[in-house]
Amino acid sequence: MTDLKSQLAEWLSAGLARVAPECAPQIALERPKQPQYGDYSSNVALQLAKTLKRNPRELAAALIAALEPSPRVARVEMAGAGFINLFLSDTARREVIARILDQGDAFGSVAAAEGTSAIVEFVSANPTGPLHVGHGRAAAVGDAISRLVESQGYRVHREYYYNDAGAQIVNLALSVQARVREAAGASAPFPAEGYQGEYVREIARAYLTEHPDDDAGDDLDTMRSFAVATMRREQDADLSAFGVRFDQYFLESSLYSDGLVDKTVRALTATGRAYEQDGALWLKTTDYGDDKDRVMRKSDGSYTYFVPDIAYHVTKWERGFKRAITELGADHAGSLSRVRAGLQALDLGIPAGYPEYVLHQMVLVMRGGEEVKLSKRAGTTLTLRELIDEVGRDAVRFFFLLRKSDSQLTFDIDLARAQSEENPVYYVQYAHARVCSVLEKAGISPEGAADSLRNVDLSPLSSAYESALLRRLADFTDELAMATRELAPHLITFYLKELAAEFHSYYNAEQFLVDDDALRQARLALVVATGQVVRNGLAVLGVSAPVRM
């Protein structure tokens, strides 16, 4: 089903063909911020004026005159320097209700990508400790991006890259070793770069339970494997509690054990874009816009941070993922251009913007006006599980998505727990609960509401509150598409807050269960459509839509 906006763009294109048949531009329609400027607006006359050597206002007037009558458009006006403003007919405005009731959970989604595969990598925390709130923001952002991309027709593969190799893992093993020896009553100096949290003592106690013969803590390799496996299970449990799933866990260690890092370095050397200098191997990243070349292999033979990342992203390309999205903490920003440069240097046909990166900033957690700095268990920052336990999964997810991911986020625990309109997640969920309350009072089952109201006469919907709500509902498809283009799930939280505000205003101003049966049925259809869109938007964020609150 072609949406109304697309139909209007085709209608304008047909009119333009009568005025300037030599032009066939893609006509874009925008939603004016103020309703008095119409339901949709186009600047096509301003865009083509120079090419056609015509005054934009004169061109806009000619285009308006060439338009055939449409049952969907009440009138067309010219404004400003040559903008064309479209005012929909009442029937066209109400059409969105029928589309929502017909499409249900699928409303807003499109099949633009036609089943193309995409991979979204996110969280990818080192298995050296519990997930903290920063990792939680990564999980919320990455999962919401996955759902957004799916809404546009992609088949999304969710992947977690485990950094189970390197110095941090060695430090974890040494930390556990020190706690094992401490538990045995031996002198155990703690490593300078070790992990201090109580969870390390828990790992040590569990290790001794399973390996009582190593109470001296001498088997460091077994201890390392045990610690990593323990933390992986715990992180998986945290993510499950957060409602986040992955299709695959990719181990960094496999890049070395399978020879993929060495293979990638040999391939880069074979292209002539790597060179030896001062005992190190360098990559000519300056050929791809970097300010200086970068070391790939240090003089001691170890690889720098971005080299396994290049090898890893090569596997994504070779696995058939022509679109790759990688969500990372902002502290990784320095290596992004180097990874892309390495991928370009390999001459594999990988496009310059591969992968697409989404960065997130850290989270500042507040309670009672003061920063919550420490976790009781991790010994450092507050853990994701502690925050979920305190305010609930829905609030954590919604709050993590309230701001653009690369901006600083302050998480106010007191606000997240408040049952008031100041709490954005409560405000949006309460709108859905109110929808369910109206249906219950009307004696309509939520499951069968769409079927029972699909063919009602919508002409009684004429109030300003209804017009505003219809306009907002019609925007959902475009909002999803825009949020996907920009990989910006926070746009959906903005939209839902605005939709909830429109519905709460309507709820407070009008009666739904009126004596006039035609008006009652029409308003109930609008209420059901609103509940469906609230539910669809919350689903994109991974947030529930409660029936009662």
Residue 379: pLDDT band by 50, 70, 90 thresholds? low
Average pLDDT over residues 261-270: 96
Q: What DSSP letter does each residue of 419-447 carry, written as one string?
A: -STTSHHHHHHHHHHHHHHHHHHHT--TT
Amino acid at 532: Q
Residue 375: pLDDT band by 50, 70, 90 thresholds? low
* Helix, strand, coil percentages in the chain from 3-state DSSP, rounded to 5: 55, 15, 35
Strand order across the beta sheet in which 40-42 lies: 40-42, 83-88, 73-79
Decide which of 159 and 335 is more confident.
Answer: 159
Alpha helices in 109-219 (DSSP H): 133-151, 167-183, 198-210
Cα–Cα distance, 98 to 358 (Å, whole number):
36
Residue 540 CB coordination number (10 Å): 27
Q: Tell me what the pLDDT averaged over the chain comes to.
A: 94
Cα–Cα distance, 432 to 426 (Å, whole number):
10
Cα–Cα distance, 378 to 355 (Å, whole number):
33
- Given a contact cutoff of 8 angstroms between Cβ atoms, the answer to whether 376 and 386 are in contact is yes
φ, ψ for residue 190 (rounded to 5)? -85, 140
Residue 206 CB coordination number (10 Å): 14
Q: Lowest mean pLDDT of 94-103, 284-293, 405-414, 523-532, name the range.
A: 284-293
What would the pLDDT profile of 420-479 be if each residue is shown by its tens digit? Answer: 999 999 999 999 999 999 999 999 998 889 999 999 999 999 999 999 999 999 999 999
- The domain at 4-88 falls in which architecture? 2-Layer Sandwich (3.30)
Cα–Cα distance, 226 to 180 (Å, whole number):
13
| pLDDT, position 109 | 94
Prediction pTM value: 0.92
What is the percent of the chain where pLDDT is above 90? 86
| pLDDT, position 189 | 84
- Given a contact cutoff of 8 angstroms between Cβ atoms, the answer to whether 165 and 252 are in contact is yes
4-88 and 421-541 in the same fold: no
| pLDDT, position 1 | 45
What is the percent of the chain where pLDDT is above 70? 98
Q: Write the secondary structure of 101-138 as one string of H (helix), E (strand) and C (coil).
A: HHHHHHCCCCCCCCCCEEEEECCCCCCCCCCEHHHHHH
| pLDDT, position 378 | 57
Task: Tell me, rounded to whole angstroms, the distance of Cα 324 from its chain centroid.
Answer: 14
Greatest distance between any 2 Cα atoms in the chain: 92
Q: Lowest mean pLDDT of 55-59, 136-140, 301-305, 392-396, name the range.
A: 301-305
Q: Which residue has 């390999």 as its token pair? A: 346
Q: Which residue has 């400003």 as its token pair? A: 80
Between helix 220-241 and helix 198-210 the angle, nearest 10°, is: 120
Number of alpha carbons in the 13 Å side-chain half-sphere of residue 416: 24
Q: Lowest mean pLDDT of 26-30, 112-116, 305-309, name the range.
A: 112-116
What would the pLDDT profile of 317-328 be if each residue is shown by its tens digit? Answer: 999 999 999 999
Cα–Cα distance, 395 to 387 (Å, whole number):
10
- Given a contact cutoff of 8 angstroms between Cβ atoms, the answer to whether 131 and 239 are in contact is yes
- Given a contact cutoff of 8 angstroms between Cβ atoms, the answer to whether 523 and 461 are in contact is yes
**Which residues, 6+ apart, have CB-to-CB distance to 445 below 8 Å?**
439
In order of 93, 269, 469, the CA distances from 501 in angstroms are 19, 59, 9
What would the pLDDT profile of 39-52 be if each residue is shown by its tens digit? Answer: 999 999 999 999 99
Class level of CATH domain 421-541: mainly alpha
Q: What DSSP designation does 207 have?
A: H
Cα–Cα distance, 469 to 526 (Å, whole number):
9
Residue 335: pLDDT band by 50, 70, 90 thresholds? confident
| pLDDT, position 331 | 87
Cα–Cα distance, 305 to 334 (Å, whole number):
11
Cα–Cα distance, 510 to 491 (Å, whole number):
29
**Which residues, 6+ apart, have CB-to-CB distance to 94 below 8 Å?**
458, 459, 461, 470
Cα–Cα distance, 217 to 187 (Å, whole number):
12
Residue 34: pLDDT band by 50, 70, 90 thresholds? confident
Residue 26 has pLDDT above 60, yes or no: yes
DSSP-based three-state secondary structure for 40: strand
Residue 377: pLDDT band by 50, 70, 90 thresholds? low
Cα–Cα distance, 283 to 176 (Å, whole number):
37
What would the pLDDT profile of 244-253 be if each residue is shown by its tens digit? Answer: 999 999 999 9
Give me the residue spans of the domains in the chain: 4-88, 167-238, 421-541
Q: Lowest mean pLDDT of 330-344, 408-422, 477-491, name the range.
A: 330-344
φ, ψ for residue 27 (rounded to 5)? -85, 125
**Could you tell me how many residues make up the chain?**
549
Residue 171: pLDDT band by 50, 70, 90 thresholds? very high
